[in-house]
Amino acid sequence: MAIDRIFGYGSLIWKPPPFVTGRVPCYVKGYTRRFAQFSHDHRGTPENPGLVVTLVPNSEWLKLQGADEYPSRLVWGVMYTIDSNHSEEVHAYLDEREKDGYELMEVDVFVVADGQERCNGKSSIYVGHVTNPSFCGPSKLEDLATRIHKSVGPSGPNKEYLYHLKREVEALCLEANDPYLTDLEGLVKQLDQTPHSST
Protein backbone atom coordinates (compact mmCIF):
# COMPACT_ATOMS: atom_id res chain seq x y z
CA MET A 1 0.00 0.00 0.00
CA ALA A 2 1.25 3.47 -0.87
CA ILE A 3 0.87 6.54 1.34
CA ASP A 4 0.27 9.76 -0.59
CA ARG A 5 -0.82 11.94 2.34
CA ILE A 6 -0.20 11.52 6.07
CA PHE A 7 -1.69 13.49 8.96
CA GLY A 8 0.64 14.01 11.91
CA TYR A 9 -0.69 14.96 15.34
CA GLY A 10 2.32 13.96 17.49
CA SER A 11 6.02 13.80 16.69
CA LEU A 12 5.33 13.86 12.96
CA ILE A 13 4.54 17.56 13.35
CA TRP A 14 8.19 18.41 14.01
CA LYS A 15 9.85 15.28 12.67
CA PRO A 16 8.28 14.64 9.25
CA PRO A 17 8.76 11.54 7.13
CA PRO A 18 11.14 11.63 4.17
CA PHE A 19 10.18 12.68 0.64
CA VAL A 20 7.67 15.35 1.68
CA THR A 21 6.52 17.70 -1.10
CA GLY A 22 3.91 19.69 0.83
CA ARG A 23 2.93 20.63 4.39
CA VAL A 24 -0.47 22.00 5.41
CA PRO A 25 -1.66 22.84 8.95
CA CYS A 26 -5.10 21.29 9.35
CA TYR A 27 -7.33 19.45 11.81
CA VAL A 28 -9.52 16.41 12.27
CA LYS A 29 -12.93 16.26 13.94
CA GLY A 30 -14.50 13.85 16.39
CA TYR A 31 -11.29 12.75 18.10
CA THR A 32 -9.52 13.39 21.40
CA ARG A 33 -5.70 13.64 21.53
CA ARG A 34 -4.34 12.24 24.78
CA PHE A 35 -1.19 10.81 26.34
CA ALA A 36 -2.80 7.39 26.55
CA GLN A 37 -0.29 5.23 24.68
CA PHE A 38 2.75 3.59 26.27
CA SER A 39 6.04 4.07 24.41
CA HIS A 40 8.39 1.13 24.85
CA ASP A 41 10.73 1.97 21.97
CA HIS A 42 11.01 5.75 21.59
CA ARG A 43 10.31 7.70 24.80
CA GLY A 44 10.66 4.84 27.25
CA THR A 45 11.82 1.26 27.57
CA PRO A 46 10.04 -2.09 27.91
CA GLU A 47 10.78 -2.00 31.64
CA ASN A 48 9.84 1.67 32.11
CA PRO A 49 7.60 2.80 29.26
CA GLY A 50 7.05 6.45 28.55
CA LEU A 51 3.90 8.03 27.14
CA VAL A 52 3.00 9.41 23.73
CA VAL A 53 -0.22 10.70 22.24
CA THR A 54 -2.85 8.83 20.33
CA LEU A 55 -6.26 9.78 19.00
CA VAL A 56 -9.43 8.26 20.42
CA PRO A 57 -12.91 8.88 19.02
CA ASN A 58 -14.69 11.29 21.37
CA SER A 59 -17.53 8.85 21.95
CA GLU A 60 -15.11 6.10 23.01
CA TRP A 61 -12.95 8.36 25.18
CA LEU A 62 -15.88 9.63 27.24
CA LYS A 63 -16.93 6.05 28.04
CA LEU A 64 -13.55 5.16 29.55
CA GLN A 65 -13.30 5.18 33.33
CA GLY A 66 -11.28 8.15 34.54
CA ALA A 67 -11.58 10.13 31.30
CA ASP A 68 -10.74 13.79 31.89
CA GLU A 69 -13.30 16.53 31.45
CA TYR A 70 -11.44 18.77 29.03
CA PRO A 71 -13.93 19.89 26.37
CA SER A 72 -13.84 18.14 23.03
CA ARG A 73 -11.70 20.07 20.58
CA LEU A 74 -10.58 19.96 17.02
CA VAL A 75 -7.27 18.11 16.85
CA TRP A 76 -4.79 20.27 14.99
CA GLY A 77 -1.78 18.84 13.24
CA VAL A 78 -0.06 18.77 9.88
CA MET A 79 -0.87 16.93 6.67
CA TYR A 80 2.11 16.04 4.53
CA THR A 81 1.97 15.26 0.84
CA ILE A 82 4.41 12.50 -0.12
CA ASP A 83 6.34 12.26 -3.38
CA SER A 84 4.44 9.62 -5.36
CA ASN A 85 7.71 8.04 -6.48
CA HIS A 86 8.50 7.18 -2.85
CA SER A 87 5.06 6.54 -1.33
CA GLU A 88 5.65 2.83 -0.70
CA GLU A 89 9.05 3.56 0.83
CA VAL A 90 7.48 6.14 3.15
CA HIS A 91 4.79 3.65 4.13
CA ALA A 92 7.45 1.15 5.18
CA TYR A 93 9.31 3.87 7.10
CA LEU A 94 6.18 4.93 8.98
CA ASP A 95 5.12 1.35 9.73
CA GLU A 96 8.46 0.84 11.46
CA ARG A 97 8.33 4.16 13.27
CA GLU A 98 4.74 3.65 14.49
CA LYS A 99 5.00 -0.07 15.23
CA ASP A 100 4.32 0.19 18.98
CA GLY A 101 0.55 -0.32 18.82
CA TYR A 102 -0.43 2.03 15.99
CA GLU A 103 -2.60 1.10 13.01
CA LEU A 104 -3.08 2.87 9.69
CA MET A 105 -6.49 4.32 8.83
CA GLU A 106 -8.00 7.23 6.90
CA VAL A 107 -9.71 10.39 8.14
CA ASP A 108 -11.17 13.55 6.68
CA VAL A 109 -8.95 16.58 7.26
CA PHE A 110 -10.10 20.19 7.36
CA VAL A 111 -8.46 23.54 6.70
CA VAL A 112 -9.57 27.13 7.22
CA ALA A 113 -9.34 29.31 4.12
CA ASP A 114 -10.50 32.95 4.13
CA GLY A 115 -12.20 32.34 7.45
CA GLN A 116 -14.20 29.40 6.13
CA GLU A 117 -13.84 25.73 6.99
CA ARG A 118 -13.15 23.46 4.04
CA CYS A 119 -12.70 19.70 3.85
CA ASN A 120 -9.32 19.00 2.29
CA GLY A 121 -10.06 15.38 1.48
CA LYS A 122 -8.83 12.24 3.15
CA SER A 123 -5.46 11.51 4.67
CA SER A 124 -3.77 8.45 6.09
CA ILE A 125 -3.18 8.53 9.85
CA TYR A 126 -1.66 6.24 12.47
CA VAL A 127 -3.86 5.69 15.53
CA GLY A 128 -3.37 3.58 18.64
CA HIS A 129 -6.84 2.12 19.13
CA VAL A 130 -8.16 1.43 22.63
CA THR A 131 -7.80 -2.31 21.99
CA ASN A 132 -4.08 -2.22 21.16
CA PRO A 133 -1.72 -3.67 23.81
CA SER A 134 0.13 -0.38 24.34
CA PHE A 135 -3.00 1.63 25.09
CA CYS A 136 -2.96 2.62 28.76
CA GLY A 137 -6.19 4.58 28.94
CA PRO A 138 -7.00 7.70 30.96
CA SER A 139 -4.87 8.76 33.92
CA LYS A 140 -4.85 11.71 36.27
CA LEU A 141 -2.85 14.61 34.89
CA GLU A 142 -0.50 14.46 37.88
CA ASP A 143 0.26 10.78 37.22
CA LEU A 144 0.92 11.48 33.55
CA ALA A 145 3.27 14.30 34.49
CA THR A 146 5.25 12.07 36.86
CA ARG A 147 5.75 9.34 34.27
CA ILE A 148 6.57 11.78 31.48
CA HIS A 149 9.06 13.61 33.67
CA LYS A 150 11.04 10.52 34.62
CA SER A 151 10.86 8.45 31.43
CA VAL A 152 13.69 8.28 28.91
CA GLY A 153 14.01 6.16 25.78
CA PRO A 154 16.13 5.79 22.64
CA SER A 155 14.57 8.95 21.16
CA GLY A 156 15.32 10.99 24.27
CA PRO A 157 13.56 12.21 27.42
CA ASN A 158 9.79 11.83 27.40
CA LYS A 159 9.34 15.41 28.61
CA GLU A 160 11.06 16.73 25.47
CA TYR A 161 8.35 15.04 23.41
CA LEU A 162 5.69 16.88 25.41
CA TYR A 163 7.50 20.21 25.20
CA HIS A 164 8.00 19.84 21.44
CA LEU A 165 4.37 18.85 20.92
CA LYS A 166 2.91 21.79 22.82
CA ARG A 167 5.22 24.30 21.14
CA GLU A 168 4.64 22.96 17.63
CA VAL A 169 0.87 22.74 18.03
CA GLU A 170 0.71 26.33 19.27
CA ALA A 171 2.82 27.45 16.31
CA LEU A 172 0.26 26.11 13.81
CA CYS A 173 -2.28 28.86 14.53
CA LEU A 174 -4.00 30.60 17.43
CA GLU A 175 -6.98 28.25 17.30
CA ALA A 176 -4.71 25.23 17.74
CA ASN A 177 -3.84 26.03 21.38
CA ASP A 178 -4.73 23.03 23.55
CA PRO A 179 -5.42 23.58 27.29
CA TYR A 180 -4.75 19.89 27.99
CA LEU A 181 -1.20 20.16 26.66
CA THR A 182 -0.69 23.49 28.43
CA ASP A 183 -1.75 22.13 31.82
CA LEU A 184 0.27 18.94 31.43
CA GLU A 185 3.39 20.85 30.43
CA GLY A 186 2.95 23.11 33.44
CA LEU A 187 2.91 20.13 35.81
CA VAL A 188 6.01 18.57 34.24
CA LYS A 189 7.90 21.87 34.42
CA GLN A 190 6.99 22.11 38.10
CA LEU A 191 8.69 18.74 38.57
CA ASP A 192 11.71 20.10 36.70
CA GLN A 193 12.05 22.72 39.42
CA THR A 194 11.66 20.25 42.28
CA PRO A 195 14.97 18.81 43.57
CA HIS A 196 15.25 15.03 43.17
CA SER A 197 11.75 14.88 41.67
CA SER A 198 12.76 12.12 39.24
CA THR A 199 13.86 9.68 41.92
Distance of CA 183 to the CA centre of its chain: 16
E-state strands within the chain: 5-8, 20-28, 31-39, 50-57, 75-82, 103-113, 116-127, 152-153, 156-157
Q: Active-site residue among 47, 60, 98, 168?
A: 98
Helix (H, G, I), strand (E, B), or coil: what is residue 117? strand
Q: How far is Cα 74 from Cα 175, in angstroms, rounded to an integer?
A: 9
Q: Is 117 a catalytic residue?
A: no
**Cβ atoms of residues 171 and 178 within 8 Å:** no
Q: How far is Cα 72 from Cα 32, in angstroms, rounded to an integer?
A: 7
Active-site residues, by number, are 98
